[in-house]
Structure 1
Amino acid sequence: MSNTLGSAPFSKAVVRAMRKLYPESLADKSWDNTGLLLEAPFDPLRRQMNSVLLTVDLTRAVADEAIERKDSVVIAYHPIIFRGLKALTLADTQQRSLLRLAAEGISVYSPHTALDSAPGGINDWLADIVTGQPATVPDHIEAESNAGETGGEEDGFPFEAHPDPFKGKRPTYLLAHHPSTASLHENADLKLNAVEHSREPIKAFDSETHPGAGQGRVVRFKEKQSLSSLIDRIGRGVGNPKGFPIAIPQDKRLEDISIQSVGICAGSGGSLLTPLQDVDLLFTGELSHHEALGAIERGQVVVALFHSNTERGFLHSVLKLQLQEEVAKEWEALRKEEGQQANGQDEDLAEAWDDGYVNIEVSERDRDPYGILIAKTDL
């Protein structure tokens, strides 16, 4: 058995693929922590599957899922290691997950703001949604939605129901979480990027080194769009959630508002979107109370899906398919570059290099910590 310590051969292919798709140079290194955050030692006698689990947050439940599935790598959009660590102990719940994954030989990679800023990344995906058109409606007909709805039939909203925790009382509310991966259908009811518009980053990178890259996006429509139609597109594009917060100016009615421009930022958009004075709609995961108040006082509309609900659908609709193709290419290249030589020197590695299987999946247990309590009388 070899005494050489290193990461799993397949894990190297996954890291190479992520760095090609979403270069780490696009991340905001002034505060963010991206890249290979946990490089688990490879034990040929306890080899994991050639598989990757995609998640927004690396929670204990997701770590359990990766261990059960025997994945080689977890790609966690949010960095589980964010600030400097002085110790790694089982007392800290997040560190406990990292230690368990390392013991199983599972590595962790985080792309975070690199994925935000890249052309075709999360913010462009959100821009595609707001500029989409329901596929069930002809292009020349403006999609209409009721002011109190977010699109789709009520019976079509998938949600997980839990009874009221107070024993002996009849449940008054049901808890609805944002649709899980299992209920997403890759925006099947929305023709993405169908409405004529222009778009640009809010804070652009150097156009010569990274054309089209930058933080956030601003969409400007050629023709004004009704707010109702945009709500319908957003609801369809992110999987028809049961509801999400919206803030409008106090002297306006939702059905009377038209939108010419949209500022977009996945996750927490306060610092990036608040300075935008010339857009009609701020579309993000969350704004603070005072940021939202300031926006509606300026006559702007705010749509907030809850932080990670602006991010999770991208993993299923875009990243999974991209990685399946790119990791397969990188794994084949690595097997040709290093596999043949390693096979001749170390018998324990032969099985790992001979395995051409590649599989990318999205976590079924990852979800935003917030759900929405819905009164049963409204169902």
Structure 2
Amino acid sequence: MSATTTSAPFSRAVVRAMQRLYPKVLADNSWDNTGLLLEAPFKPTARLSNTVLLTIDLTRAVADEAIALNSSIIIAYHPIIFRGLKSLTLANTQQQTLLRLASHGISVYSPHTAVDAAPGGLGDWLADIVTGSVTSPQEEEITSALPTPTPATNPEDPFLDAPKRPTLHHQRSSYRLQKPALSTSPLKHTRRSIKPQSPELETHKGAGMGRVVTFSSPQPLSKLLDLIGRGLNNPKGFAVAIPQTKTISELNISSVGICAGSGASLLADQDVDLWFTGEVSHHEALAAIEQGKAVVSLFHSNSERGFLEDVLRWQLEEVVGEEWGKMREEQRGEEGVEEALEDEEVRIEVSKVDRDPYGIVVLKEE
């Protein structure tokens, strides 16, 4: 009788932790593909470390990083397998990445919209940012090869007349910092889900897709833009659309519709003053400002990436630790896993190479 093939005990503990925090039932399973997408066989003779690598997108560079870290499993927010596959070949770059990871014994789990919908998940993280309910972490000293930007003479004019040269900036892939502390003076507000989870889970009350934040009193758009910038670790810039007859200083915001990623389809029917999302099309933005709304568009994955370091990393350090302790007890005495079960260590790492495909070209004076 052949031996049963299974994944690494630690990887199974991580999957259980993710399903505790973000059950698959919370995902929009009408189109999404969440859960364990690659279950790599456990090799007792080539055991990996108890390391989880968190990323938004699973690219070749992230796979290299996981292999270098000797990770057991990657948590990739976006599913690398989205539609049915008829083959797995090296000719396709994404399939090549999956085959490489499998050959190294590294599994892949993707939670995607389950994270969006969960209470305390991505929707609430973005709501916390726009309401000032969390403070931005203090940055570590990071040496950069990029020159310091020259301040504009008119901060509201993104185009200066002086000769310039382009420099491409990407938002940092992770903060690598301490857990952010709660702010002492968040803006007073109420919040609700746009599309509540039905039926509601007893363990995840208040879950649902999207969020609407309603302020107790109208807030200047300029103040909210400052909160968003600080909450996202001060990116070089992000796109803002406003009605053509208005200026930023004239706009006050009473309500915000929030959706990570590409949010227009969820926000279009909401009676709110501001859309806060990762991506909208040209025509969707035009329709919004014609209705008197403002739009903040961060680039798709930049509306998601900071969540890995701000929230998910800390959640997993606790819950994976608990699940790994349980797994070690359950598997004790099982043949072939003795050495793996001796390792108590749990490491949660956030990818340093993961980034949105788009950066911002900042024009600088010669």
Q: So what's the TM-score if we normalise by structure 1?
A: 0.86
Task: Determine the C-alpha separation between the residues in 1 that align with 2:145 and 2:226.
Answer: 22
Q: Number of paired residues?
A: 345
Sequence identity, in percent?
A: 60
Give secondary structure in 1 for the equivalent of 2:82: coil
Contact 1:79 1:112 in 2 (8 A): yes
What corresponds to 1:213 in structure 2?
207
Give how far 1:187 is off: 5.1
Task: Determine the C-alpha separation between the residues in 2 that align with 1:208 and 1:41.
Answer: 35
Give how far 1:275 is off: 1.8
Confirm whether residue 200 of structure 1 aligns to residue 167 of structure 2.
no
Structure 2 CA distance for partners of 1:159 and 1:314, relative to 1, 3 Å: farther
Contact 1:35 1:110 in 2 (8 A): yes
Task: Determine the C-alpha separation between the residues in 2 that align with 1:157 and 1:281.
Answer: 34
Task: Determine the C-alpha separation between the residues in 1 that align with 2:52 and 2:295.
Answer: 35
Unaligned runs of at least 5 residues, structure 1: 137-151, 163-169
What corresponds to 1:363 in structure 2?
351
Measured against aligned partners, the alpha-carbon deviations of 1:178-205 in whole angstroms (never above 9, x if no partner) come to 12314666556x8288111110011111
The one-letter code of the counterpart of 1:351 is: E
1:12-27 equivalence runs, <5 A = 12-27=12-27
Measured against aligned partners, the alpha-carbon deviations of 1:21-40 in whole angstroms (never above 9, x if no partner) come to 00111011100000000000
Give secondary structure in 1 for the equivalent of 2:30: coil
Give how far 1:208 is off: 4.0
Confirm whether residue 377 of structure 1 aligns to residue 365 of structure 2.
yes
Confirm whether residue 236 of structure 1 aligns to residue 224 of structure 2.
no
Task: Determine the C-alpha separation between the residues in 1 that align with 2:48 and 2:175.
Answer: 24
316, 337, 341: which one aligns with 1:349? 337
What corresponds to 1:79 in structure 2?
79
Contact 2:164 2:363 in 1 (8 A): no
Task: Determine the C-alpha separation between the residues in 1 that align with 2:345 and 2:135.
Answer: 35
Task: Determine the C-alpha separation between the residues in 2 that align with 1:63 and 1:101.
Answer: 7
Give how far 1:159 is off: 7.0
Unaligned runs of at least 5 residues, structure 2: 148-162
The one-letter code of the counterpart of 2:69 is: R
Task: Determine the C-alpha separation between the residues in 1 that align with 2:134 and 2:338.
Answer: 50
Give how far 1:354 is off: 1.1
Give secondary structure in 2 for the equivalent of 1:293: helix
Structure 2 CA distance for partners of 1:193 and 1:309, relative to 1, 3 Å: farther
Measured against aligned partners, the alpha-carbon deviations of 1:156-215 in whole angstroms (never above 9, x if no partner) come to 9997749xxxxxxx9711111112314666556x82881111100111113643520110
Contact 1:187 1:238 in 2 (8 A): no
What corresponds to 1:310 in structure 2?
303
Give secondary structure in 1 for the equivalent of 2:65: helix
Task: Determine the C-alpha separation between the residues in 1 that align with 2:26 and 2:356.
Answer: 25
1:272-351 equivalence runs, <5 A = 272-276=266-270, 278-338=271-331, 340-342=332-334, 346=335, 348-351=336-339
Confirm whether residue 261 of structure 1 aligns to residue 255 of structure 2.
yes
Give how far 1:353 is off: 1.0
Task: Determine the C-alpha separation between the residues in 2 that align with 1:177 and 1:224.
Answer: 32
Cα RMSD (Å) = 2.3
Task: Determine the C-alpha separation between the residues in 1 that align with 2:146 and 2:27.
Answer: 38
Structure 2 CA distance for partners of 1:316 and 1:368, relative to 1, 3 Å: same
Confirm whether residue 249 of structure 1 aligns to residue 243 of structure 2.
yes
What corresponds to 2:171 in structure 1?
178
Give secondary structure in 1 for the equivalent of 2:187: coil
Give how far 1:3 is off: 3.2
Task: Determine the C-alpha separation between the residues in 2 that align with 1:158 and 1:247.
Answer: 33
Once the two structures are overlaid, the 10-residue window that deviates more, 46-55 or 193-202, is: 193-202
The one-letter code of the counterpart of 1:254 is: I
Task: Determine the C-alpha separation between the residues in 2 that align with 1:194 and 1:102.
Answer: 45
Contact 1:159 1:242 in 2 (8 A): no
What corresponds to 1:62 in structure 2?
62
Q: So what's the TM-score if we normalise by structure 2?
A: 0.89
Contact 2:175 2:309 in 1 (8 A): no
Structure 1 segments of 4 or more deviating over 3 A? 133-136, 156-162, 182-188
